[in-house]
Structure 1
Amino acid sequence: MPRTSTALTALAQLRSADVRSRAQELARAEQDLEGARADLAVAERALELWRGEVRASVAAEEERLGSGERRASEWVRQEQYQAAAARRGEVLLRARDEALDRLRRDEKVVRDARRALAEAHGKKEAVERCLSEGVRLAAGRAARTEEEDAAEGALARWSAGRSA
C-alpha cells in the first residue's frame, strides 16, 4: 500500500500542483479578464469620445456645408443678380445708344434746318436787296420819266413858243 499511498500522494500532489497551476492560470485569466474589462472600458470611453468628436465634426461639416450651401445659394443669387444687372445694363446701354442715335439724327435735322434757314434768310436778303434795288431803279425810272415828261413838256412848250 505504500506504493498506493505514494502513488495517491503523488497523484494528489500532481493534482494539487495541477489545481494550483490551474488556479494560477485562472487567477491570471481573471486578471487578464479584469485587464481586458479595463481596456474595454478605456476603449469604450475612447470610442465615446471619438463618436463625440465625429458627431461634432459631422455637425461642423453639416454647418459648413449648410453655410457652404448658403454661400453657394448666395453665390447663385449673386450670379443671378449680376446676370439680371448685366441684362438691365445691356438694356440700358441699348437704350442709351438708341437715344444717342436719336440725338445725332435730331442734331443733324437741326443743323440742316438751320442751314436751310440761313440759306432762306440769305435768299430773302438777296430778294430784299433785289426788290429794294428794283424799287430804287423803278423809282429812279419813274423820276426820270417825270423829268423826261417835264423836259419834253418844256421842250414842246419851247418849240411851240418858237414856232409861234
Structure 2
Amino acid sequence: MTIPRDDPVKRKARDAEREVLPARGVRSQKLVEGLEATPIAHGREKHTEDYATATHDHVVLEPAIIADPGDAGTIDPELGGVCELTSAGVETRTLGDPTFRGQVLDLMFIEDGGDITITASSPVNQAGNTSLVTSDVGDHLRLAGFFNATDGWEWRVIVNDGWTLS
C-alpha cells in the first residue's frame, strides 16, 4: 500500500523529516519530497535513483562515492562519503579538513599494490596524528567532522580497522 501524498498526518511527518535531514549530502529537494513507502516482498521499502532508501517511517541516505584521486592526489571530502582506495605501488594522498560538524568520511582500502600514506591537514585524534597509513585490503578508517574554537575544523577517528596512525 502506498501512503497517500495528501494524508495530513503523513505530510506532517514528512515535513518533520525534511527539517532534520542535513542540507549537505542531500542531492536534491526532489529526493526528499518524492519518497513514499511502498510494500515489496521483504518489507516496505523503495530504492530510488537518488541514492536513498525510503521505509515506512524514515529516509536513509546512502553515502556519496568519492573518487580515489590516485598517487599524490587530494581526497575531496566536501560532502563526505566513501572513498575506496587502490594502489599500484607505494603511494601518497592528502586530505583536507571537514566542512561541517558530523560530516562522515570512510576510507577503505580495496586493491593493494603497496601501502598508501594519507597526510591530513590537521590532527585526526587527541594524540595529534596527521599521518594515516593503510597496508592491507579491508583496512577501514571512518572519520567524523569536528570543530573546536582553538584549532577550527578537524577530523576525528571514530572507527579504525587496520590503519596505522602517527
Shorter-normalised TM range: under 0.3
The two structures have a TM-score, normalised by structure 1, of: 0.16
**Greater relative contact order, per chain length (Cα 8 Å cut-off, separation 6+):** 2
- Higher relative strand content: 2
Q: Which has the larger radius of gyration?
A: 1
The structure carrying a bigger helix percent of its residues is: 1
